[in-house]
Amino acid sequence: MQSDISHGANPYDHWLTLSKSYTWRDQMGKSQSGSGSVDVLQALNIVDNQCGDGGVPWVGGQNAGGKGQSPILVVSDVVKAGYNIEQGHDPTSGDPGQSNTRVAQVWQTPADAVDYARAVLGDVKIETKNNADRLALPGHGLGPKIEQDRQTGITALSSLVNGNTTPTPDELAKVSAPGTQLNRDVVETIRRLQPQERAVVVGKLSAEQATAANVERAMMLRRLLLAGYQEPHVFASAAGPEIQRMVAVIDREIDQVLYETRVRRELFANTAGTVLELGGKIDGQGGSVPGQRPNDAHPVENGATAQ
């Protein structure tokens, strides 16, 4: 949008042009069917006066964006359509997904998927009618979602480790990363650690779980956008560039999160490994107990120098 504006173009013009083209087609259809006696000049006046009030065909075939019509929410509407297409439902349905699918296990309803998409990607509100507000909701990326889940994970895992929650399979699943499963042995091992070490391990496991979960959600969101774009009316609309931009944003977010995770792991793992190696050497030398020099003619015995 900033690029279009900097080149003197209105990023909403293609939607308005599309709406006008449908109004033209409507007038031509009436003339050819004999249901109207509108000539070319009259049709031109109607198109200019309506100026996009007729909206454009959108998800499910209903016109949107025009006068008295629902606005077009590019991200929300396409993600909802993609969710329903993945579940075999009508593109406009609000019904819950099938529980045996991974998408529905992450987001139980289309509304849940839409809420996540709007938080991460933002949204664009399109209205083609006269004097319509042109609004854009900014997205905040994966970072806030990862931090939110990390804090939730710390609370849940700490409750398990402290014995406040029974480590049932369901409770363990809440603190496990996608594709992995913490078990009772892990919880019991963490319990035996010193408090400071326990806090570090809980924080690290929670961060890994939150990162893995949100990367998986981002990849699912990418799939929903591409699936929703295949809805015939969306595909025929002017939403293509916006959807492609959102897919590119998701790709960058995933790359950035993985890059930060890799750098963090390399830096902290090297430091921790060095500390453990030094600790092992100290333990091997008897800790802090000073050793005796084998060639000392007068060694210290019981606090006194031997003669």
Give the pLDDT mean for 170-188: 88
pLDDT at 8 over 60: no
- What pLDDT is recorded for position 42? 58
Higher pLDDT residue, 294 or 53? 53
Contacts of 296 (CB under 8 A, 6+ apart): none
Given this model, what pLDDT does residue 3 score? Answer: 56
Q: How far is CA 153 from CA 46, 163, 177, 205, 264, in A?
A: 59, 15, 10, 8, 19
Mean pLDDT of the chain: 81
pLDDT: which is higher, 89 or 297? 89
Q: Does 147 have pLDDT greater than 80?
A: yes
Separation of alpha carbons 217 and 115, rounded Å: 12
Distance of CA 28 to the CA centre of its chain: 45
Q: How does pLDDT run across 52-67, given as a tens digit for each residue?
A: 678 888 999 999 988 8
| pLDDT single digits (tens) 104-116 | 999 999 999 999 9
Q: Tens digits of per-residue pLDDT, 210-220?
A: 999 999 999 99
Dist. CA 13–CA 16, nearest whole Å: 5
| 198 band by pLDDT with thresholds 50, 70 and 90 | confident
CA distance between the termini of the chain:
90
pLDDT at 266 over 80: no
Higher pLDDT, 200 or 60: 60
pLDDT number for residue 74: 94
Phi, psi of 301 (to 5 degrees): -130, 120
Residue 10 sits at the vertex; the CA angle it makes with 9 and 12, to the nearest 5 degrees, is: 145
Question: Can you say how many angstroms the Cα of residue 64 is from the centroid of all Cα atoms in its chain?
Answer: 27
Residues 38-53: tens digit of each pLDDT: 565 655 555 555 666 7
pLDDT for position 249: 96
- Write down the pLDDT at residue 177: 85
Helix orientation angle between 110-121 and 74-87, rounded to the nearest 10 degrees: 140
Residue 27 has pLDDT above 70, yes or no: no
pLDDT at 274 exceeding the cut of 60? no
DSSP letters spanning 45-80: HHHHHHTTTT-EE-GGG-EESSTTSPPEEHHHHHHH
pLDDT of the residue at 28:
58
Residue labelled with tokens 């892990």: 186
The amino acid occupying position 243 is: I
Burial 25-43 (b: 16+ CB within 10 A, else e): ebbeeebeeeeeebeeeeb
